[in-house]
Amino acid sequence: MNGAESMLQTLINNGVEVCFANPGTSEMHMVAAMGESESIRSVLCLFEGVCSGAADGYGRMAGKPACTLLHLGPGLSNASANLHNAKKGHTPIINLIGDHATYHKKLNAPLTSDILSLANPVSDWLRVAEAAVDLPSAAADAVYAANVKPGQVATLIVPANAAWDESIQPLPAQPAPIVPKVSDAAISESVRLLTSGEPSILLLGNMALTERALELADQIVQATGTKLLSDTFIPRQARGEGRCKIERLGYFAEQAVEQVNGAKQWVMVGTKAPVAFFAYPDKPGELYPEGSSLHTLAQPNEDAEHALEKLVIALGAESYTPRKIVKNKPQSGAGNLDPVTLANSFAHYLPANAIVVDEGATAGGLCGPLSEAAEKHDWLGLTGGSIGYGLPAAIGAAVACPDRKVICVHGDGGAMYTIQSLWTMIREQLDICVIILANRKYQILQIELSRVGAESVNEKTLEMMDLSNPDIDFVKIAEGMGMQAVRAETAEQFNEAYSKAMATKGPCLIEAIMP
Amino acid sequence: MNGAESMLQTLINNGVEVCFANPGTSEMHMVAAMGESESIRSVLCLFEGVCSGAADGYGRMAGKPACTLLHLGPGLSNASANLHNAKKGHTPIINLIGDHATYHKKLNAPLTSDILSLANPVSDWLRVAEAAVDLPSAAADAVYAANVKPGQVATLIVPANAAWDESIQPLPAQPAPIVPKVSDAAISESVRLLTSGEPSILLLGNMALTERALELADQIVQATGTKLLSDTFIPRQARGEGRCKIERLGYFAEQAVEQVNGAKQWVMVGTKAPVAFFAYPDKPGELYPEGSSLHTLAQPNEDAEHALEKLVIALGAESYTPRKIVKNKPQSGAGNLDPVTLANSFAHYLPANAIVVDEGATAGGLCGPLSEAAEKHDWLGLTGGSIGYGLPAAIGAAVACPDRKVICVHGDGGAMYTIQSLWTMIREQLDICVIILANRKYQILQIELSRVGAESVNEKTLEMMDLSNPDIDFVKIAEGMGMQAVRAETAEQFNEAYSKAMATKGPCLIEAIMP
């Protein structure tokens, strides 16, 4: 049994079922090992950023890692932006990166590079398996590292000779990492802050956004009157009918400051104190008032549900019944397509148990708020700020949950980063409806330009944020990758295409022309 | 004058004329500065890998750097694979990477990452400008570093507050770096080896592949009988009518070993001793026989033409007239499209002064050999082994040389990595003909699979190298980005489309269906 085979069997023994692959020559033995196995699904992607984004979407929905298969330093580089998102979102992922044979590296062949330096910023765990006999334990350790909650990016560099040389037997299933519980002191300090009579904020993120965690948070709100907020960018949140409501902290600091309304007592669960996405001249980066009391009830890696349960008990809040959202869909939009009519239609036809992958950016900004009382669904957000995650993440979510409809709401600018994703959706016949919001500009930049105080706004400047000239025809691009696609220029056209997509299984794309 | 403006004016004063940009919020002041200036052309790309690949193509043809404009760590990551190619190919490039304001970094906002670690492997020169007043000198130093011959990748990280704070005056044009000349000892050792009577190889790369350098090399060949070879992957080579012939070292070690035919005396000019692209079990990585005498006449950064001139004189070879290629185009292909007929047609219709950007991979492997006696042209190759360089590099070459036809011969698999390039070709109305060689597989991997000794070749394994299911329709994808495109299924159809493209200015795409 060679190193690749023993590594792969160890991964399989430890629960890995899927590999999002874009291999090259140095990965051929890993490809051959996967070809021999019936226990791993290999999903070919046409670009490594699709692999890593898909692994992100998969990890968020499956709660366990898929692996990527990447070709040396450049393959990792192409995957890196979406690994950045995954790391910021605490998604479990295992990267398998092929490298030159150990003895070949010193020759400085064209594909030689410093993979460790490239991998370190986007990995929580990183190892080179120098020899075939190291691969089974390295694989087991990688799975363990990836499964440290909420999840970690584990990167294993596999030199070609480690893959092809004779190895030892694969390792069996290892115990899963234990999720740390919060201390009693963390609970009692939370009680003190939330019952002090001063205005307070309970801020949730990551593992504190499950259906159960939100119910517990709602009991706390009822008992204490604290304001409840979630992080702006969330890996996954249970939403819609039957779930408990939570307001999301705004992206723009001005919005956030208004939501916070001067509250100086903050209790964080599963997240850290909020900061502005970008710095702006003469504005603070912290979104909490100076002199605030910041208390972390649960770190992102700690058991958030358990912490909230203990807090509910400590506050005597068990008697409050969680106030679950009663379904109250908006009417579908009519007339012109714009962010309001589109979001209304999106929410109106959203089917129960859907998974929404959100990279809707400015044009899709109302899809979240207006679907709060729609059918129940899960929502995946852009956690690391690197655009081009949505289409790949939709692939991963659909692979993880083949019985659920995935809806990917995507800005046109971001969609062009990883547009190759459409091909894999067709190849794997995934149940994904892609909605491209085609406003034909990087609208967020046009907004940010003045906010950062860049005073000169002339035609040449605006051209650098403009996606018209030429207009992109997403219908043709999708058809070029074998995907059914339709353009909607009015709300009625959108409603027809979207409602039909929701009633039909399989991949499709709707290009919504937006102002 | 803020930091962005003073930096930009310093770049302009030092000869920078073009920026390939994919900016974000943290780059808004740099965008605004470019918007104000009439001395810099800003070319918007829909993905950062297009920016870096375009800067690579530009640098090779312009002989001086363009800059890229990239958005923090993820923007750099997306650019990184083509920066890897550029670094291996010694192309002058300046990367401008926006970062958070210095005081914002500690807050660990979603887009915060270790940019230095990501940048180091793909940069020859790397600096963070901590303050606005540092930017003019940093910009001048970056240009200097980029211009160190043959060229270097210089990366300048620009925190947002360094861009927006008040700066000092821009710097004027700085002196260019001096190109080191080789020593007399290097010449005399070359003479000794080439005149010893033993079989020898003269291996050229990088700056030794100019028209003039090849003439000098041909005089040396005539005087000494040495075998002349070039690197397998070349940044730029003068080819075709009126140039001197040089044989390229084969990609596969088996080919290379045959070309070398046991010669144990090697003189390298502008390059290093050749090594195999990948390691294979039980095969040596060095492409020269054990015990060879390896002598470097000129390192890649040394003046190769001058070294060859001195060597010609030392050998008394001035009396030999360089044997220039007499035009002898092949007949255009007829019948089925395959690597032979396609390459014949490619060479037959190749116009004078064309620039060929080659990422033709296996299906395009004969385009080089069969165009040796075609009209004179320049040839740009894939220097770092990271696929997806061709379409972007064609953009850069066309921007650098607006009066020359650019022909980009591209494998279908590689083309999908940076397919967004087509949009920029249209937007800028560049004179590029893209030929997609659609064999619908990663053919090189199917070849390599058995060469690396991965024995199990079953259907599941082959599927991971297969690009059919679904077939990609490049005509529709191109049309989706506003590009005229046509499919050719026979040599006659190809000839019609290609000859028309050569006679017409402007961007177009031909999808050649290959076996």
Q: Residue B85 is encoded by which pair of tokens?
A: 């190619």
> CA-CA distance, A261 to A113, in Å (whole number)?
50
Provide, rounded to the nearest whole percent, the portion of chain A with pLDDT above 90. Answer: 92
Choice between A26 and B449, residue whose per-residue pLDDT is larger: A26
Please compute the mean of the pLDDT values over residues B261-284 and round it to a whole number.
92
* H or E stretch covering B107: none
**Over the stretch B195-237, which tens digit does the pLDDT of each residue have?**
999 999 999 999 999 999 999 999 999 999 999 999 999 999 9
pLDDT at residue B411 greater than cutoff 80: yes
pLDDT one-digit tens code per residue, A314-329:
999 999 999 999 999 9
Which of the residue ranges A304-308, A449-453, B266-270, B301-305 would you say has the lowest mean pLDDT?
A: A449-453
User: How many CB atoms are closer than 10 A to CB A492?
Assistant: 16
Is the backbone of residue A195 left (phi > 0), alpha (psi -120 to 50) or beta? alpha
Residue A453 has pLDDT above 80, yes or no: no
Strands across the sheet containing B484-488: B237-239, B377-380, B354-359, B406-411, B432-438, B508-513, B484-488
- Helix ranges (H only) for A89-134 are 115-119
Name the minimum distance, in Å, from the CA of B168 to any CA of chain A: 18
Residue in A113, A115, A164 closest to B452 by CB: A164
Each residue's pLDDT tens digit, A238-264: 999 999 999 999 998 888 989 998 899
Q: What is the pLDDT of residues B306-353, one digit of tens each?
A: 999 999 999 999 999 999 999 999 999 999 999 999 999 999 999 999
How confident is the model over A184-241, as pLDDT tens digits?
A: 999 999 999 999 999 999 999 999 999 999 999 999 999 999 999 999 999 999 999 9
B388-392 average pLDDT score: 98
Mean pLDDT to the nearest integer, B497-513 = 98
Burial (0-12, 13-18, 19+ Cβ within 10 Å), A284: middle
pLDDT tens digits, residue range B135-151? 999 999 999 999 999 99
| ipTM confidence | 0.97
By Cβ distance, the residue of A47, A101, A475 closest to B279 is A101
Residue A509 and residue A483: Cα distance in Å, rounded?
7
Q: Mean pLDDT, to the nearest integer, of B262-267? A: 94
pLDDT band at B448 (very low <50, low <70, confident <90, very high): confident
Of A369-373, A388-392, B212-216, B446-450, minimum mean pLDDT range: B446-450
The model's confidence at residue B253, banded by pLDDT at 50, 70 and 90, is: confident
Instruction: Please report residues of B whose CB lies closer than 8 A to that of A111.
Output: 277-278, 384-386
The pLDDT confidence band at residue B252, using thresholds 50, 70 and 90, is: confident
Contacts of B66 (CB under 8 A, 6+ apart): B16, B17, B18, B19, B20, B54, B55, B58, B59, B93, B94, B396, B399
Instruction: Collapse the DSSP code of B510 into the 3-class scheme (helix H, G, I; strand E, B; otherwise coil) and give the result.
Output: strand
pLDDT digits (tens, 9 = 90+) for B70-97: 999 999 999 999 999 999 999 999 999 9
Q: Determine which of B77, B158, B294 to mutate to test the interface with A (most A C-beta atoms within 10 Å).
A: B77
Nearest by CB to residue A121, choosing from B47, B110, B114, is B114
Rounded to 10 deg, the angle between the B48-62 and B72-88 helix axes is: 30
Q: Which amino acid is at B256?
A: A
Contact with chain B for residue A282, Cβ under 8 A: no
**Mean pLDDT calculated for residue range B290-300:** 96
pLDDT computed for residue B456 by the predictor: 66
Structure tokens at B485: 């495109």
CA distance A17 to A37: 11
User: How many Å lie between the alpha carbon of B280 and the closest alpha carbon of chain A?
Assistant: 8
Give me the pLDDT at residue B345, please.
Answer: 98
Q: Give burial (CB, 10 Å; 0-12/13-18/19+) of B99.
A: buried
Residues 6+ apart with CB under 8 A from A106: none
Confidence (pLDDT) at B284: 86
A-chain residues near B73 (CB < 8 A):
84, 121
User: Residue B359: which pLDDT band, with cuts at 50, 70 and 90?
Assistant: very high
Label residue A282 by pLDDT band (50, 70, 90). Answer: confident
Nearest to B445 among A24, A84, A160 (CB): A24
Q: Strand B377-380 vs strand B237-239: parallel, antiparallel, or unpaired?
A: antiparallel
Within 289-328 of B, beta carbons closer than 8 Å to A belong to: none
Average pLDDT, chain B: 96
Q: Which pLDDT band holds residue B455 (cuts at 50, 70, 90)?
A: low
| Pair of tokens at residue B215 | 């003439």
Residue A345 has pLDDT above 90, yes or no: yes
C-beta atoms of B275 and A109 within 8 A: yes
A189, two tokens:
């300090």
Give the residue from A8, A42, A46 with the most B CB atoms within 10 Å of its CB, the best one to mutate. A46
Provide the CB-side half-sphere exposure for B397 (13 A, CA): 30
For chain B, give the percent of residues with pLDDT over 70.
Answer: 100
pLDDT at A454 over 80: no
Three-class SS state of A42 = strand
Res A456 pLDDT > 70: no
Residue A43, pLDDT > 80, answer yes
Mean pLDDT of A382-395: 98
| A52 reaches B (C-beta below 8 A) | no
Average pLDDT, chain A: 96
Instruction: Examine the pLDDT at A458 and tell me if it is beyond 90.
Output: no
> What angle (nearest 5°) sits at the alpha carbon of residue A32, between those of residues A27 and A34?
95
